[in-house]
Structure 1
Amino acid sequence: MAAPINYRHLYYFWVVAKEGGMGRAATRLGMAVQTVSAQVRALEQSLGHALFRPAGRGMALTEAGVAAMTHADQIFQLGEQLPAAVREAATGQGRRLAVGIPDGLPKLVVPHLLQPAVDGTGVRLLCHEDEFDRLLGDLALHRLDAVLSDRAAPPNPNLRLYSHALGEASLAWFAPAALVKKGGKRFPECLADMPLLLPTGHAAVRPRLDQWFERHGFRPHVAGEFEDSALLATFGRSGMGAFPASRWSRAELLADKGLRLLGDTPELVEHFFLISAERRIQHPLVQKLVQGGREVM
């Protein structure tokens, strides 16, 4: 059986790697350089591999060092979260749920996807919006509990991530009332005469939209493309053009008296996933999200 890791040695290694050198690490730790160096060497001896190599006047991580750093990052970032988690549990502030929301995910469907977890009391929801790949990296480092997405996580040998289907929703088309009054054709032919607002390639549904236009034989007049779906809907409401949105967003969009429903496109479907860093989900709120998704599929 392997000897247990000395976490003090691991911590000194982690600081050296973060600071980029023994001297800067020693200053941060308030210790002598020789002491820090000895602690790192002790960790290397216990692991049986060199973790640093010379690089010019400084030092760089070896392949073994990169692997050690990946695990050390997870360990000490979780450690930084521990006081807050204990305080919240002890004071009854409720369970925390940190969720990543990619730029391309339709924002109007996010409340629907999160509803199973936030329906109860005492849930503290933290939503982080960023690029999809960066959110997956944060998830792998356990900075997030889950990522919601319109696509499954791509295969990556460096990231152990698991995709759980939450459901699917067809698209409908909406337009400002002023544009609808000008048009004389029926749906979907009327879209050929309207300025359109579309998601960029950040959204998984964009290629399906382009194929749909081709099948109907018209080239869309694209007035705007948006990475952020909430911004897309905002410009649509302002009168800039017609736009597609999930059927789950219908009630909210039609509450705006300036918008009209042009028509449904059941053949255009968005798929939604919850991505976790573990195959068997332990977080009870994330379990609720997956179970809730199965019930609506």
Structure 2
Amino acid sequence: MAWLNYHHLYYYWTVMREGGISAASEKLSLAQSTISAQLSKLEESLEVKLTQKVGRNLEPTDAGLLVLRYADEIFPLGREMLDALKGLPVFGPWSLRVGIVDVMPKLVAQKLLAPINLLPEKVRLVCHEGKNEHLLAELAMHNLDVVLTDTPLRSRLSIKAYNHLLGECGVSFLGTHALAKQLHGTFPSSLNNAPMLFPMGMSTLRGILDQWLEKMDIQPLIVGEFDDSALLKVFGQAGDGIFMAPTVIEEEVVKQYHVQVIGRTRDIKERFYAISVERIIKHPAVVAISEAAHQKLFFAIK
């Protein structure tokens, strides 16, 4: 019977997580030549090629990705065993490391991630919020399992990853009851000269919104621009202006921020993606997220 050398596997796991042999050498306090030799022995024992050179970077092969998936469970599980022996609380064998792009509405992110709570195995959720480019870099280094975003991965980025469309929906325009009473005419013409809170100019949504307003010949009064959707809603709650939210979370936004719906349109669509290094999603928690998004969350508003 062939036995797996867990020391060799740990070196490989560390190399991939740290982004290369040099960084792993510093992390493990081992010579680079030692790590390289151990990786070769691991490949020989498994009879597969685990890494490949892509430019100057060392990246996993398809077989390497499969090994990493198991290693991502093996070593955290080992740490949990040690915690359990010390009487420390442990949650479960599965973990999901999610990157959430900072412009994504927090309520959408919560709805997308909610299905993991229904899995038979409890999942430890680890969320990181940040800019798209930073999160994609972390994904490429296998520090994240998946990135949730409203912008698909562009081919110009030198990252081997894949877009998985979770769903799309139109947008709702919302505002305080006092502000809604001041509007004239019917939607969407009622937005003309009305105070509005916009997403920042570099966002995908902003470009689509600007085009739609121009097509409808509507010129609102832009009183604020935000790169944080939660902060934008707080200002909307205060009555500073009309704001937008994906229709999929309309009900929650109305209740949480005490506002009302002024109008809706499907001409402006928000799309949400899961980006992973796998062409076919295999992580059970990400599979649950994708299936629930397609079958329940976005299906309900088609």
Per the shorter chain, which TM-score range? 0.7 to 0.9
Structure 1 stretches of 4+ with a deviation exceeding 4 A read 10-16, 36-43, 78-82, 88-92
Calculate the aligned-residue CA RMSD, in Å: 3.9
Q: 1:185 to 1:111 in 2, by over 3 A?
A: same
CA distance in 2, matches of 1:196, 1:224: 7
Aligned to 1:135: 135
Aligned to 1:17: 22
Q: 1:40 to 1:284 in 2, by over 3 A?
A: closer
CA distance in 1, matches of 2:192, 2:80: 54
Gaps of 5+ in 1: 1-5, 47-62
Cα pair 2:234 2:257 within 8 Å, conserved: no
Cα pair 2:170 2:268 within 8 Å, conserved: yes
Aligned to 2:207: 207
Tell me whether 1:107 sits opposite 2:112 in the alignment.
no
**Pairwise CA distance, 1:294:** 2.4
CA distance in 1, matches of 2:138, 2:115: 23
- TM-score, normalised relative to structure 2: 0.73
Give the letter for the 1:272 counterpart: F
Tell me whether 1:93 sits opposite 2:91 in the alignment.
yes
CA distance in 2, matches of 1:248, 1:16: 44
Q: 1:188 to 1:161 in 2, by over 3 A?
A: same
Cα pair 2:254 2:260 within 8 Å, conserved: yes
CA distance in 2, matches of 1:65, 1:159: 11
**Pairwise CA distance, 1:190:** 1.8
Aligned to 2:3: none
Cα pair 1:118 1:125 within 8 Å, conserved: no
Give the letter for the 2:101 counterpart: P
**Pairwise CA distance, 1:259:** 1.2
Q: Which has the larger radius of gyration?
A: 1
CA distance in 2, matches of 1:174, 1:148: 24
**Pairwise CA distance, 1:19:** 9.8
Q: Which whole-Å deviations, capped at 9, do the CAs of 1:262-281 have from their partners, x for residues lacking one?
A: 01112211111111111122
Q: 1:41 to 1:155 in 2, by over 3 A?
A: closer
Aligned to 2:57: 67
Alignment of 1:1-297 (within 5 A): 17-18=22-23, 29=29, 36=31, 39=34, 66-68=56-58, 82-88=74-80, 93-94=91-92, 95-120=94-119, 122-156=122-156, 158-256=158-256, 258-295=258-295, 296-297=298-299
Q: 1:240 to 1:166 in 2, by over 3 A?
A: same
Cα pair 1:179 1:194 within 8 Å, conserved: no
CA distance in 2, matches of 1:248, 1:103: 18
Percent identity reads 32
Gaps of 5+ in 2: 1-6, 42-52, 85-89
**Pairwise CA distance, 1:132:** 0.5
Give the letter for the 1:254 counterpart: V
**Pairwise CA distance, 1:155:** 1.2
Provide the aligned length of Structure 1 versus Structure 2: 265
- TM-score, normalised relative to structure 1: 0.74
SS state of the match for residue 204, structure 2?
A: coil
SS state of the match for residue 193, structure 1?
A: coil
Q: 1:7 to 1:85 in 2, by over 3 A?
A: closer
